A = this chain, B = another copy of it.
Amino acid sequence: MKLSQRIESMQQSPIRKLVPIAEAAKKKGKKVYHLNIGQPDIPTPDTFFDAVKNFDEKVLAYTFSEGIPQLIDSFINYYKKYDIHFDKDEILITNGGSEALLFSLVAICEHGDEILIPEPFYTNYNGFGNLAGVKVVPVTTKAEEGFHLPKKEDILKLITPKTKAIVLSNPGNPTGVVYSKEEVYMLKDIAKENNLFILADEVYREFVYDGFEYISFGHLKDIADRVVIIDSISKRYSACGARIGSIASKNKELISQILKLCQSRLCVATIEQIGAAALINVPENYFTEVVEEYKKRRDIVYNSLNEIDGVICEKPNGAFYVIAKLPVENAEDFVVWLLRDFDVDNETIMMAPAEGFYATEGLGRDEVRISYVLNEHDLAKSMNIIKEGLKVYNNKK
């Protein structure tokens, strides 16, 4: 039976496709440090689990397609702390940030329309673009420039009559870049002048280091009608498995149209919504501690990488990822080699080859994405494994 071209041409996740090789390494008794996936090791706040345990309805019934009221309120109150203001009819609860992005794309774009995305980008944007039948047009950014945006004129060149939106994550996955005020305002001007929506994936909003001034697209009042905030509790509260996300926009018509898509899948898992709603009660110092911890980890990774000859890595200001350019021709080959043929005291690491985060053919072939989601001790060991690995790998040729 023939399957569709659109599914066959879909790429496998660069984050997950090498998992079988890692599993084989583990079977041989090697310890593998997972720097390939953005799965934090930070405990999920007990508040979540307590609320789940207190659920005592007799029937686990469908709930509102837009989300349960207490969870929508919880998002409203969360945003207030960032001086971002949404009403009840401006927020929809979704199955993670994933569904939020998919639904937004479908509501904004016809099949065959285009969206601009700074590359390297979160690889699943490709999957959602594919599902929505929307063409991803990459805005290339470079490791040497810390993945900051190119000049306005270079972005304008990519806009066609089919371009409907700019999609971005800020702070950035997989780059860790946090856009400066100038960059955010440049995107605002581009959106305004060219009648584009901005789909801002801000799931790493908390993870900004070094006192860098973070500007949410939710702060730009004069383009509020064209800004859609894609969000999720996954990273913020280390609750990836809850699959709770949201769409927020001051464009009420957009929200009411997307509600039809929400109705078609009925509702989001009820018990996880109840857990998520309780998270608004997590004390503020939770974030302070978590962010401090990630900053320490970022420093270990960044400093260690910069001590290795030939590695290029600008200091990222946010999220918990860094993309490093390695002194190898093909980073995927190196990642596979580390898993199969290398170890330091029977330990090795897994990273995500970065080529899959680019839409432009050939870019990122010598780059890897490293998630600093492990403790400092394991990260230090992991960085040493890269250093020693590169020595052996480059000498053996």
Contacts and interface: CB of A to CB of B under 8 A. Distances in A.
A37 interface: yes
Most B-side CB within 10 Å, residue of A1, A59, A95: A1
A108 B3 contact: yes
Interface string A239-263: 1111100000001011001101101
A100 to B, nearest CB: 11
Contact of A271 (B8, B52, B251): B52
A133 B108 contact: no
A58 interface: yes
Count of chain copies = 2
Contacts of A195: 1
A226 B267 contact: no
Given A39-B62, A242-B269, A4 B52 contact: no
Nearest to A112: B111
A53 interface: yes
Contacts of A126: 264
Given A131-B106, A267-B243, A39 B61 contact: yes
A41 to B, nearest CB: 7
Contact of A264 (B58, B106, B128, B225): B128
A60 B127 contact: no
A263 B16 contact: yes
A110 interface: yes
A374 B49 CA distance: 32
A232 B124 CA distance: 26
Contacts of A300: none
A214 interface: no
A236 to B, nearest CB: 12
Interface in A1-54: 1, 3-8, 10-13, 16, 37, 39-44, 48-49, 52-53
A43 B55 contact: no
B61 A264 contact: no
Most B CB within 10 A of own CB, among A5, A60, A126: A60
Q: Which 3 residue pairs across A and B have the least CB separation, nearest first? A: A127-B264, A241-B270, A269-B269
15 contacts: A6-B111, A8-B257, A13-B260, A16-B263, A44-B58, A95-B243, A96-B265, A111-B111, A124-B265, A127-B264, A128-B264, A130-B264, A131-B131, A241-B267, A242-B269
